[in-house]
Amino acid sequence: MKRYVVCGLSNRGLASFVLPLIDAGDTVVGVVDPDRARVEAFNDSVLPGVRERLPWYAPGDFDRMVDELAPTTVIVTSPDHTHADYIVAALARDLDVISEKPMVTTAADARRVLEAERDSRGSVLVTHNMRYIPRHRQIKQLIQDGRLGRITHVALDYHVDLRHGGSYFQRWNRVRALSGGLSVHKGCHHLDLVSWWIDAAPEQVFAYGALNYYGPDSPHRPRDASGKPYTGAELREHDPYYQAQAGSGVFPEPGGRTGLYGLAYEYQYPADTYLYDDEIDVEDTYSALVRYEGGASLAYSLDFSSPWEGYRVVISGTHGLIESRHGRTPDGRPLPGSDTFTFSPLFGTPETIEVIVREGGHEGADPLLNNDLFGEPAPESLRQGLPADARQGALAVATGEAIWRSAMESRPIDIAELVGRS
Ligand SMILES: NC(=O)c1ccc[n+]([C@@H]2O[C@H](COP(=O)([O-])OP(=O)(O)OC[C@H]3O[C@@H](n4cnc5c(N)ncnc54)[C@H](O)[C@@H]3O)[C@@H](O)[C@H]2O)c1
């Protein structure tokens, strides 16, 4: 019987791990989180009548927690920069790890994890859940079946809408030391997806990046008639992002932040935060070129203040081409065309393919993902190579870091320079 501990009682940790595991009758045996009050509030308000209280441990007590609770698996769902130490500590105790994406925030930490895994009886799985979305698996299947031939090029434009994008700039995600920057924190999803689709590791990156929408120099920063920036309630009143989303819960109201079940956070932001704060040190716009082993390339763009959320992707091969546009508006309406994509053989008639929608969270990705994380991977998952290992987690982080480094240093960055060769 597996025994899970959760490091980081985050919104994500609650929604995707703790509650589904408890529902399934699996054993979560403890929580590691610096915010004792949050863990105790969870014990007091959510668990009564469901199960006994979860014991709380401070981050510095990880080894004592392992001695006392004897877990088999450590689930890492804390802020990104804290993942590496938990993963390495768990592997040192020969435990298995399930880590949220990004596996870590720097390529240097990715190397630490890969070395620790080499010396351990434990292993690491990374929750690259975008792979599991049914329409992404349909695309993978067409590629695996050889319908596109050898992949030559991918063009992926990814847009994060102003609600979701703005939320990153109010939280720990906006600080590079905590998130790795958004080319790592968010880009790792897309970079992993493309690598997995085309079954090729990234080799080299060239990129540009900038802060265009948020931060102190934002063109949307509200100012009074004399040009002085508003603060506090006046800022909220004049802030187009805040006004577009007031009452949605995305933007924290004065007096602190709460998450799922109204559980308060002590972590990092008890006070007000704004999209224009000096603390912001990450980019909100990227354009990158990535070359892969085998010769395919990717043209990738990512921005965090769009009128809609989703992507346009074109995957070209020697024998055909896939085109897909998928997305929704900030109020949740699907974009026209999101329920189909097209496959055009090089010589032949284009096919319109209906997107498969499955039951379950994240567009039907969660049931199979949870099966693979908490049980034995399903045969269909193994056939498509769905579970992401530490090396793949490391490559997604290194590619995201290479985007930032290339933008800063104005030169191509070799992935081997950052994580070595496999
Ligand atoms: N796969 C996905 O689609 C997806 C979606 C959302 C978030 N995530 C990932 O999930 C993780 C959690 O993100 P979130 O936004 O839900 O977090 P959050 O901001 O809701 O919560 C962070 C939690 O971690 C705790 N914490 C802070 N420092 C810690 C430490 N040193 N050790 C243990 N706990 C610590 C905080 O007290 C808080 O309870 C991140 O890695 C994030 O990238 C993944």
Q: Give 416's pLDDT tier (boundaries 50, 70, 90).
A: very high
Lay out the sheet containing 297-306: strands in order across: 351-354, 340-345, 320-328, 309-317, 151-161, 297-306, 285-292, 202-210, 413-414
Q: What backbone phi and psi angles, to 5 degrees, belong to 120?
A: -115, 155
3-129: CATH topology is: Rossmann fold (3.40.50)
Q: Give 263's pLDDT tier (boundaries 50, 70, 90).
A: confident
Could you tell me the distance, in angstroms and rounded to a whole number, from the CA of residue 8 to the centre of ligand 1?
Answer: 6
Residue 4 has pLDDT above 90, yes or no: yes
**Confidence (pLDDT) at 345:** 98
Could you tell me the distance, in angstroms and rounded to a whole number, from the CA of residue 11 to the centre of ligand 1?
Answer: 7
**Confidence (pLDDT) at 269:** 64
**Confidence (pLDDT) at 260:** 76
**Nearest protein Cα to ligand 1, atom 23:** 10
79 Cβ inside 6 Å of ligand 1 = yes
**Confidence (pLDDT) at 249:** 63
**Confidence (pLDDT) at 350:** 97
127 Cβ inside 6 Å of ligand 1 = yes
Q: Which atom of ligand 1 is nearest to the CA of 38?
A: 39
Residue 256 has pLDDT above 80, yes or no: no
**Confidence (pLDDT) at 259:** 76
> Side chain identity at 62, as an amino acid letter?
F
pLDDT digits (tens, 9 = 90+) for 388-404: 999 999 999 999 999 99
**How many distinct helices (H) and strands (E) make up the chain?**
18, 16
Compute the residue count for the chain: 422
Once rounded to an integer, what is the mean pLDDT over residues 78-83? Answer: 97
**Confidence (pLDDT) at 169:** 94
**Confidence (pLDDT) at 250:** 63
33 Cβ inside 6 Å of ligand 1 = yes
Once rounded to an integer, what is the mean pLDDT over residues 102-118? Answer: 98
pLDDT digits (tens, 9 = 90+) for 211-233: 999 999 999 999 999 999 999 88
Cα dihedral 241/243/245/246 (nearest 10): 140
Residue 201 has pLDDT above 90, yes or no: yes
Select from 9, 82, 100 the residue to mutate for testing ligand 1; criterion: most ligand atoms less than 8 Å from CB: 100
pLDDT digits (tens, 9 = 90+) for 361-396: 888 888 899 999 998 999 999 999 999 999 999 999
Select from 19, 77, 172, 190 the residue to mutate for testing ligand 1; criterion: most ligand atoms less than 8 Å from CB: 77
pLDDT digits (tens, 9 = 90+) for 308-340: 999 999 999 999 999 999 999 877 889 999 999
Whether the bond into 229 is cis, omega within 30 of 0? no
Distance between CA atoms of residues 290 and 155, nearest Å: 10
**Confidence (pLDDT) at 248:** 66
| CATH H-level superfamily of 130-214+281-419 | Dihydrodipicolinate Reductase; domain 2 (3.30.360.10)
Percent above pLDDT 90 for the chain: 82
Q: Which atom of ligand 1 is nearest to the CA of 32?
A: 33
Could you tell me the distance, in angstroms and rounded to a whole number, from the CA of residue 119 to the centre of ligand 1?
Answer: 27
Q: Do domains 3-129 and 130-214+281-419 have the same CATH topology?
A: no
Q: Where are the domains of the chain?
A: 3-129, 130-214+281-419
Q: Which atom of ligand 1 is nearest to the CA of 80?
A: 41
**Confidence (pLDDT) at 341:** 97
Once rounded to an integer, what is the mean pLDDT over residues 399-415? Answer: 98
Q: Give 244's pLDDT tier (boundaries 50, 70, 90).
A: confident
Could you tell me the distance, in angstroms and rounded to a whole number, from the CA of residue 78 to the centre of ligand 1?
Answer: 4
Could you tell me the distance, in angstroms and rounded to a whole number, from the CA of residue 159 to the centre of ligand 1?
Answer: 22
Residue 55 has pLDDT above 80, yes or no: yes
100 Cβ inside 6 Å of ligand 1 = yes
Q: Which atom of ligand 1 is nearest to the CA of 77?
A: 11
11 Cβ inside 6 Å of ligand 1 = yes
Q: Across the chain, what does the average pLDDT equal?
A: 94
Of residues 344 and 260, the one with the higher pLDDT is 344
190 Cβ inside 6 Å of ligand 1 = no
pLDDT digits (tens, 9 = 90+) for 169-183: 988 999 999 999 999
**Confidence (pLDDT) at 219:** 97
pLDDT digits (tens, 9 = 90+) for 136-172: 999 999 999 999 999 999 999 999 999 899 989 988 9
Distance between CA atoms of residues 228 and 362, nearest Å: 43
**Confidence (pLDDT) at 106:** 98
Closest residue by Cα to residue 74 from 12, 31, 113, 40:
31
Q: Give 208's pLDDT tier (boundaries 50, 70, 90).
A: very high
Of residues 224 and 267, the one with the higher pLDDT is 224
Distance between CA atoms of residues 333 and 310, nearest Å: 12
**pTM to 2 decimal places:** 0.96
Tokens of 422: 């496999």
267 Cβ inside 6 Å of ligand 1 = yes
78 Cβ inside 6 Å of ligand 1 = yes
Tokens of 415: 């992935």
Could you tell me the distance, in angstroms and rounded to a whole number, from the CA of residue 9 to the centre of ligand 1?
Answer: 7
